[in-house]
Amino acid sequence: AVKQLWGDGNHMAEIDDMMAEQKAIHGEKAKSVCDLFRDKAVRWQLITLFLVASCMQLIGVNVVYFYAYNVFKKAGIPPAQTHYVSLGIGITEILSTILCVSGSSAEFHSAVMHVSFLSLEATDSFSWVPYCSVALIFIFIMSFGIGPAGVLCPLPTEIFIQSYRPAAYVFNGVTNWIQLFILGLLFPFIV
């Protein structure tokens, strides 16, 4: 199975790690989410997972997704065409995830520039500013895809032992969606 997944090569070190972990847990069954909260031995891993999930929400990519339609509308893109622009954003994120190089710096700079252009948009002084905002949304999404996007999914696998991984994935997903919901509700008031 390892050869099929990773291709030809010597993968004995990885297999030995898996076997050692399997031996260490002595056939222990998967833990529940309640077990995850009760066990002090995994407390720091749980806190780390929560903090990383929270920071991913604070990056702002979900807010960009939520409110991109308004930016597209303000740029003069007809409502019938915004679906294609949204599809372009999704394709941009997929392609940038495939590239997967460090994009945090580009993400930061595009976010700062986007806020600047949104400030200029409010003055209605420049007709080209909304188009820059649309382009910056694409740059921001692409930067997120090639930067921090790939961190949250594999993190439970890396910091939890086998018996806690299913519960950690559940905790990760629930935490992410609850924070996404809260962010979606609060952001209009922040604006």
**Domain residue extents for the chain:** 31-189
Q: Mean pLDDT: which of 22-36, 93-107, 128-142, 154-168 is highest?
A: 154-168
Q: What is the pLDDT of residues 10-39, one digit of tens each?
A: 888 888 887 887 777 776 788 889 998 999
Contact 63, 104 (CB under 8 A): no
Two tokens at 93?
Answer: 């994120």
Q: How confident is the model at residue 44 (pLDDT cuts 50, 70, 90)?
A: very high
Confidence (pLDDT) at 148:
73
Under CATH, which number does the domain 31-189 receive? 1.20.1250.20
Distance, in Å, from the CA atom of 21 to the CA atom of 27, rounded to the nearest integer, reads 10
C-alpha atoms less than 13 angstroms from C-alpha of 122 in its C-beta half-sphere: 6
